[in-house]
Amino acid sequence: MTRYKAIIAYDGTNFFGFQRQNEGRTVQQELEKTLTRLNSGVEVTVHGSGRTDSGVHALGQVIHFDLNGKRSEEKLRFALDTQSPNDISVKSVEEVSENWHARYEKHEKTYIFRLDIGKTRSPFKRYYASFFPYPLDFEKMNQAIQKLKGTHDFSGFTATGTSVEDKVRTIYEAKMEHFPDEEELLFTFRGNGFLYKQIRNMVGTLIKIGNGKFEVERMDEILQSGDRNLAGATAHPEGLYLKEVRYVR
Amino acid sequence: MTRYKAIIAYDGTNFFGFQRQNEGRTVQQELEKTLTRLNSGVEVTVHGSGRTDSGVHALGQVIHFDLNGKRSEEKLRFALDTQSPNDISVKSVEEVSENWHARYEKHEKTYIFRLDIGKTRSPFKRYYASFFPYPLDFEKMNQAIQKLKGTHDFSGFTATGTSVEDKVRTIYEAKMEHFPDEEELLFTFRGNGFLYKQIRNMVGTLIKIGNGKFEVERMDEILQSGDRNLAGATAHPEGLYLKEVRYVR
């Protein structure tokens, strides 16, 4: 048995998220189907660094899986890439030690969120960016996003009813960039982990602040109170991308 | 009766091209459906600056149409944009004189062609760029693309059996840019008109030259002989975009 780590990208539009489930097509199931075929029919389980929700994309999700025997890394990458559906691509494959684990190995994650702020929704972005054609105060959004950096209890930004006990996470990088030619805002968040729907709730709150519905200080209030009712609506999944998983020692 | 000019964008993936036809969904038909509704049920005909083929995209196609009575340009734009399917967007609408014509008014067209040259096909580009993961000599392609500039008989680059008599056209701008971060080549062609499949055949030939299958001089031979058999295979439609139609006096 040999363990392999792979970096994959997927267009989340036609997936019910990453994780295996009973109804609907998922990234994990599609990869497991292909890998089981490549493994002479012996069932293969794919482990991801974490889940992504329905409609959410990945530029650099990391998975691991075990195969019988040893393979050439590039041949395996090519086979898995070309035999997977074409909304999944396999960017790299490398052999790792037998106890390496995509989820439990210590890592940082980077997510980006694309917001189409054109007057008209670009047909080319309808599945690849969220759309907000109303006025936004970039200065206020920039002030507010700074407040998310650091170690906080992010309870106010997670979905209610989540089972995770410890809601303290650290955000190392949080920034917003404006690309006027593309009529787009790009949010980047890098941290040691994110709670369920945390990024989409943070972005939803930033949009409300930019649009003047909330003051900048609302960000502090949510972080301090942990009250989900103070945050903005969850931003749409099509704007969100898992960009990178970086394993740290 | 008032005549309006509109600039539209569309994602060509799910269209059988621009022009009305009996089978399959087209851009013209979708717009005519919406406009007829906005015109109290009186049938409206849409005229485009030209056709685009199945799978080809537009960032700035120009159309004109006539409506009963006068409308506010922005209200009409908004209604047409939001009531059209979301793979069409309406970027601007303006009133024009009653004899203005999107096709017959003198104009220049700019097309771009996106080529995904990554080792792995990006799932995000599978409908938006053509894919060529093999070696390419950019220097030779740059030399060859220069030869397309100017006034030539482009018979060798059009589909056989086309009914257009005069195949002389002028290309004002022809360039290729390499974006290493995006693993992409971007071709731009601006001219006073292009023949059926001309751009896709020129790109197909440039790819063959880049890949060493043809010499750079092949470009001269095709232009001089007008022999379609000397040119490369027609490049795939998903890489092609009608970027801009510029009306000139």
CB contact under 8 A, B88 and A11: no
The single-letter code of the amino acid at B118 is G
Decide if pLDDT at A98 tops 70: yes
What pLDDT score was predicted for residue A162? 67
Residue B164 pLDDT grade (very low, low, confident, very high; cuts 50, 70, 90):
confident
- CA distance to partner chain A, nearest, from residue B167 (Å): 33
Instruction: Calculate the average pLDDT of chain B.
Output: 96
Neighbours of A140 (CB within 10 A): 17
Per the CB < 8 A criterion, the answer to whether A170 and A147 are in contact is no
Distance of CA A163 to the CA centre of its chain: 19
Residue percentage of chain B with pLDDT more than 70: 99
ipTM of the complex: 0.90
Instruction: Calculate the average pLDDT of chain A.
Output: 96
Residue A56 pLDDT grade (very low, low, confident, very high; cuts 50, 70, 90):
very high
To the question of pTM greater than 0.95 for the whole model, the response is no
- B246 three-class SS: strand
Domains A2-96 and A108-247 belong to one CATH topology: yes
Decide if pLDDT at A89 tops 90: yes
Identify all chain A residues contacting B73, using CB atoms and an 8 Å cutoff: none
Please give the angle made by the CA atoms of A66, A67 and A73, to the nearest 5 degrees: 100
User: Which pLDDT tens digit goes with each residue over B191-216?
Assistant: 999 999 999 999 999 999 999 999 99
CB contact under 8 A, A123 and B90: no
Residue A160 pLDDT grade (very low, low, confident, very high; cuts 50, 70, 90):
confident
Strands (E), chain B: 2-10, 47-48, 57-67, 88-96, 107-116, 130-131, 150-153, 168-179, 184-191, 240-247
Domain boundaries, chain A: 2-96, 108-247
Least confident of A19-23, A231-235, A236-240, B197-201: A19-23
The CATH classification of domain B2-96, taken from the options 3.30.70.580, 3.30.70.870, 3.40.630.30, 3.40.228.10: 3.30.70.580
CB crowding B165-199: b at 16 or more within 10 Å, else e: eebebebeebebeeeeeebbbbbebbbebbbbbbb
User: Which pLDDT tens digit goes with each residue over A36-49?
Assistant: 999 999 999 999 99
Task: Considering only the beta carbons, identify the residue of B10, B57, B121 that sits closest to A89.
Answer: B121
Decide if pLDDT at A71 tops 90: yes
Q: How many CB pairs under 8 A join A and B?
A: 46
Identify all chain B residues contacting A126, using CB atoms and an 8 Å cutoff: 11, 86-87
Which of B93, B120, B130, B181 has the highest number of chain A CBs within 10 A, making it the mutation to test binding with A?
A: B120
Residue B219 pLDDT grade (very low, low, confident, very high; cuts 50, 70, 90):
very high
Per the CB < 8 A criterion, the answer to whether B64 and B96 are in contact is yes
Task: Considering only the beta carbons, identify the residue of A9, A121, A124 that sits closest to B122.
Answer: A9
- Between CA A141 and CA A116 the distance in angstroms is 15
Annotated binding site of A: 111
Q: Does B126 touch chain A (CB under 8 A)?
A: yes
What pLDDT score was predicted for residue B9? 98
Q: Does A10 touch chain B (CB under 8 A)?
A: yes
Residue percentage of chain A with pLDDT more than 90: 94
CA gyration radius, chain B:
19
Q: Does A87 touch chain B (CB under 8 A)?
A: yes
Q: Does B134 touch chain A (CB under 8 A)?
A: no
Any binding-site annotation on B111? yes
Q: Does A25 touch chain B (CB under 8 A)?
A: no
The single-letter code of the amino acid at A47 is H
Q: Does A27 touch chain B (CB under 8 A)?
A: no
Closest to B101 (Cα-Cα) out of B129, B141, B64, B143: B64
The CATH classification number of B108-247 equals: 3.30.70.660
CB contact under 8 A, A86 and B120: no
Closest to B235 (Cα-Cα) out of B189, B195, B198, B210: B198
